[in-house]
Amino acid sequence: MKHLLVFALFTVALVGMALADDVAITVYNQNLALVKEGRTLDFQKGVNKMNLTDVAAFIDPTSVHFKLKSGSDNIQLLEQNYQYDLVSSEKILQKYLGNDIDVIMKNGDVLTGRYLSSSSGYLVLQLPEGAIRLINDKEMLSVTAPKLPEGLIVVPTLQWLLSSDVSGKRDV
């Protein structure tokens, strides 16, 4: 019964998606689907990058094909990259290795220092005076980093490098 309900909800979502946009969907066994989607994109003349969000998290980027719906405009896809390095606490800490962070302790203390590593339930912080502090995860309330590190994104994104002889919106 549970599987039938999930399938019904999935089917309703797919039908809604197909009615809302220029979308055709074929569902196969083993978590595989073929999606043909039309989008209106805003192109800039010259060689430039375009980011396409609202793509599936498990998309096979080698299966993505780009073509204009009509017209004789010269727009070429030069390069495609699938950016899937999504934000997570582990990845943020990885990107901040060797940089300053603030650690808020459960007792209210704030420790500022250079993040050196974390493993086995401990975060290793080099304090401003040079001392090394091993902080038990159970004693920490939170960790604050100054900003989202470069290269991390919040949604899967196809990044295209395009060459276009025209500017403006086109159906693809």
Domains contained in the chain, CATH given: 1-38 (no CATH), 89-144 (2.30.30.100)
Which amino acid, one-letter code, is at 114?
A: R
**pLDDT digit string (tens) for 66-121?**
888 887 889 999 999 988 878 888 899 999 999 999 999 999 999 999 999 999 99
- Report the alpha-carbon distance of residue 134 to residue 122 in Å, rounded: 6
Return the higher-pLDDT residue of 10 and 29. 29
Is residue 6's pLDDT more than 80? no
Q: Is 132 in a helix, a strand, or coil? A: strand
**pLDDT digit string (tens) for 121-150?**
999 999 999 999 999 999 999 999 999 888
Return the higher-pLDDT residue of 116 and 11. 116
Is residue 9's pLDDT more than 50? no
- Report the alpha-carbon distance of residue 18 to residue 29 in Å, rounded: 20
| 10-36 mean pLDDT | 71
Helices marked H in the chain = 2-20, 89-95
For residue 11, name the pLDDT band (cuts at 50, 70, 90).
low
| 36-56 mean pLDDT | 91
Q: In this structure, what are the phi and psi dihedrals at residue 58, rounded to the nearest 5 degrees?
A: -110, 35
